[in-house]
Structure 1
Amino acid sequence: MDMDTGPLTIGAFAKASRLSPKALRLYDELGLLAPARVDPVSGYRYYAPEQLERARLVAWLRRLGMPLARIRRVCDLAAAADAAAAAEVRAYWAETEAEVAARRDLATLLVDHLSRKEPAAVPFTLESTPDAPLAIRYAALSDTGRMRESNQDTVYAGARLLAVADGFGTGGEEASAAAVAALRRLETADLPAGDLLNALEDAVEEAGREAGRAVRGVAAEDAGTTLTALLWNGSRLALVHIGDTRAHLLRDGELCQLTEDHTLARKLLAEGRLTPEEAASCPQPALLARALTGSGAGGAGEVEGGTVDTKLREARLGDRYLLCSDGLSAVVPTADIRETAATVADPAQAVRALVESANRAGGPDNVSCVVADVVRADGAAG
């Protein structure tokens, strides 16, 4: 049968579209790709030649791994000649690449753990120093700023744990304090080196529950907190992060941001829905795409908008870690932060200088910093 002059049997259409007859029957049942006609007696399906374009698009999107519900949306947009169809594919692929990157980090961690080898060299990879026991020298400071009436940030720095949480909404102060308090239990917990990341992830789950309980009956549903924390054990550091608080590493004079801001503007930029210029001028640049909120069932708390980012790193003597709320990063240029972090040797003086920089810039928000240096545990010069 000539496919330009009449309907196609399901077999001919399957061959032309590179979709199996079984897949075509499924897509019919789901309303994704209905046949042009179904024989009322035999139930045999026939397709129109003009349906091939949609069928081939479905096949391509399935090869990308896109879920069927999302494929339906792309196909409907494409049928309407809507430019949003391309944006939808771009957004899906950006999300896929982010998921693959997270899985890559986990795969590297597992290979390292199972082979007992150091991770492959990458930019800013941390190196262990087994013959020189390491410790951290740290300081933390939080300030209300110049324009806020109260401080919703919570910071903590101890021999094992560094944390910054930035609460938001009614009850944000209670949410951030409860989240950090849940993590502080790790200071005295038994932490096997090989289980460091799991211990921190478990603690973050508890932090979410505690944040939810803290705002129950007090706050609106949009109350919650960001959280960025480093857990130290020997020469190993586990990092967890959600929201727009940040963790940085200063090494050899270079400042590297270890976390990615979970803001709506950054998410839309990564998905190609905003240009860099549009993202820079976004009217709500700090609107969060991920956070610990009090909106879980029964106010039990949950991770809103996705998962918590996690990483495991090896420490190097001389490294400096900086954790901060967006009260610093949103108003002080990165170059100025790097300059202070690189030139002010004492952690206590460094956090004071950073907070003062934010307040000199207007202090529009609460500002909190933790600075921690990797030093020799025996106190000898590095």
Structure 2
Amino acid sequence: MARSPIARTIGDFARATGLSAKALRRYDELGLLRPDRVDPYTGYRYYADTQTERARLIAWLRRIGMPLADVGRVCALYADDPAAAAREIRAYWASVEADTAARRGLAASLVERVKGTTTDMTTNGPTPYVFEGTALLDRGLVRELQQDAAHASPRLLAVADGYGPEGERAARAAVEAVAAVPAPVRAGDGLDALEDAVRAAGRAVVGLDGSGTTLTAALLAGGRLVVAHLGDSRAYLLRDGRLRQLTRDDTVVQALVDAGGLEPEEAAERPDRAVLLKALSGGEGASAPALGVHEVRPGDRVLLCTDGLSALASPAELAGTFAAVGGAGAADALRELALSLGAPDNLALATAEVTPAGAIDTLSRTSAP
């Protein structure tokens, strides 16, 4: 005769699984974890030992901060496809880490603003660092028109990738709008200034119906790097030979990767990898940019590029080429890399090294079609 599973009271089950009785009642109401049976006279809930694994999974998912709706989806997947459940957890945590990295710098800047001070190298003087930078454009080997734009100055780098019949004008207008941003003293001021500049860029492309542009800009402020981003152009930071991507693509494919529905290795092969979720659109005006604040130090090198490079080169190829050549030659080397890979699209690059202010005399340059 088959043995019945041991029935635990809600208190015993809570102690066995690390979930409180209150949480168990809540998860019953939401359908996440139903009791094995409920006494029809007393209403007491009883749980089977076979429910322990699911309960512990819920407890751990809640401990990493996963929303209840996502917990339910992971639990449903786990019953039939543990590998798919694992992808969901990995994708959720990747999004948490990316969001935390960006928010860390934002929080530090907010602390400085509230205190009325800056923890960087100066309190009231100019920002301690400047860019020694270069902006470069290439039409590529296939396109007849150049619709990208780029800018490099001592305080700001920017790239834009225009699309549509007025893509050239959209990219140029966006870059010129952010290039006019003032040089702030504090990172918090830089956030405000760069966000305002992106709004100005949005206004500049209004009326160019059917056209628009991506925009990625990096501003030195208060000894930190403030990044604003829309679209699938990218910003990278090279330190000690390691290249780190500072932005996440606003694309359908990246959303699928984040949701666990697509492996990162598969994304590069998708024909719809350039379909944008966010951009500066001539029909809509300014979209809200993703903003981040990052610590920088002398010797760090920054790369901004459109997908005319990033969609072709692997992370290893990008890192190796950018690390191997310094100064203005880095932009030329990266252009040659794109050309060697077929260069089917326009290319815009802005490369720079972070240098103590006063150490160099850096020229400001904007490149447009």
TM-score in terms of structure 1 length: 0.70
Query: Structure 1: how far apart are the matches of 2:77 and 2:359?
Result: 65
Query: Structure 2: how far apart are the matches of 1:132 and 1:7?
Result: 66
Note closer, same or farther for the CA distance 1:211–1:379 as it changes in structure 2 (3 Å cut).
Answer: closer
Identity %: 42
Moved more, 229-238 or 22-31: 229-238
- Amino acid paired to 2:350: V
TM-score in terms of structure 2 length: 0.72
User: Is 1:87 matched with 2:90?
Assistant: no
Structure 1 partner of 2:270: 283
Structure 1 partner of 2:343: 363
User: Is 1:239 matched with 2:194?
Assistant: no
Query: Structure 2: how far apart are the matches of 1:56 and 1:135?
Result: 51
* Alignment of structure 1 residues 58-207 onto 2, 5 Å: 58-106=58-106, 116-118=118-120, 136=131, 138-168=133-163, 172-173=167-168, 175-186=170-181, 189=182, 191-203=184-196, 206=199
Query: Structure 1: how far apart are the matches of 2:127 and 2:97?
Result: 38
Q: Report the Cα offset of residue 151 of structure 1.
A: 2.7
Give secondary structure in 1 for the equivalent of 2:101. Answer: helix
Contact 1:109/1:312, CA 8 A, preserved across alignment: no
Q: Report the Cα offset of residue 96 of structure 1.
A: 2.5
Query: Structure 1: how far apart are the matches of 2:242 and 2:185?
Result: 30
Query: Structure 2: how far apart are the matches of 1:57 and 1:70?
Result: 12
| Structure 1 residues not aligned, in runs of 5+ | 120-126
Question: Deviations along 1:325-360, whole A, 9 cap, x unmatched?
Answer: 232344464334444x42xx5x4x765665465345
Give secondary structure in 1 for the equivalent of 2:279. Answer: strand
Give secondary structure in 1 for the equivalent of 2:102. Answer: helix
Query: Structure 2: how far apart are the matches of 1:100 and 1:256?
Result: 19
Q: RMSD across aligned C-alpha pairs, in angstroms? A: 4.5
- Amino acid paired to 1:239: V
Query: Structure 2: how far apart are the matches of 1:274 and 1:313?
Result: 31
Moved more, 35-44 or 62-71: 35-44
Note closer, same or farther for the CA distance 1:16–1:212 as it changes in structure 2 (3 Å cut).
Answer: farther
Contact 1:208/1:302, CA 8 A, preserved across alignment: no
Note closer, same or farther for the CA distance 1:331–1:87 as it changes in structure 2 (3 Å cut).
Answer: closer
Contact 1:242/1:290, CA 8 A, preserved across alignment: no
Note closer, same or farther for the CA distance 1:118–1:52 as it changes in structure 2 (3 Å cut).
Answer: same
Q: Report the Cα offset of residue 362 of structure 1.
A: 2.9
Contact 1:242/1:309, CA 8 A, preserved across alignment: no
Q: Report the Cα offset of residue 376 of structure 1.
A: 6.0
